[in-house]
Amino acid sequence: YNITSLSNNSVHSIYQDKEGTIWIGTFGSGINYYNRLLFQFEHYKQIPNEKNCLSNNNVNVFFEDGDNLWIGTEGGLNILNRKTGNYKFYKHSLENKKSISADAIWSIFKDSRGNMWIGTWAGGLNLFDKKSETFTHFRYNNNNNEGISSDNIFGITEDSCFLYLGTMNGGLC
């Protein structure tokens, strides 16, 4: 009940940015931002009828890319520009085949070529095109032995030859 403390004891993700600030994603209570100079937590939450705030209070993953903090929630992909304080949102749309494939975002990765990869729960892997702000989908297909092994992507990394995906029930792809 202390507004300067951690907002929830169920922590899904922790990230330390290049400035040493700690970002904590919770289950149901948004983001807790901790700067050692302030000695308290600041909170970022979804606020009903507010357009420039977090899209969902279940926060799964963070990724820093310059001034932008990419935030994966259960309600879509949020990109917070830390200089302006403005958000961009990407949500699944049945009417738009180039929208993100699912709203539950569990992994975000920037490869050595600068490509942004987004792993989802039940939507497979997404490649984000920064210019058009659209997504290319890579989905599990039982009839394709060379495709991804699961639509639930929890981790993404690379080496000099391959992109590796940690999946739920599909092993390492």
Over 90: is that where the pLDDT of 144 sits?
A: no
What's the whole-model pTM score?
0.93
Over 80: is that where the pLDDT of 1 sits?
A: no
Q: Rounded distance, CA 6 to CA 14, Å?
A: 12
Residues contacting residue 55 through CB under 8 Å, at least 6 positions apart: 46, 73, 75, 76, 78, 87, 89, 91
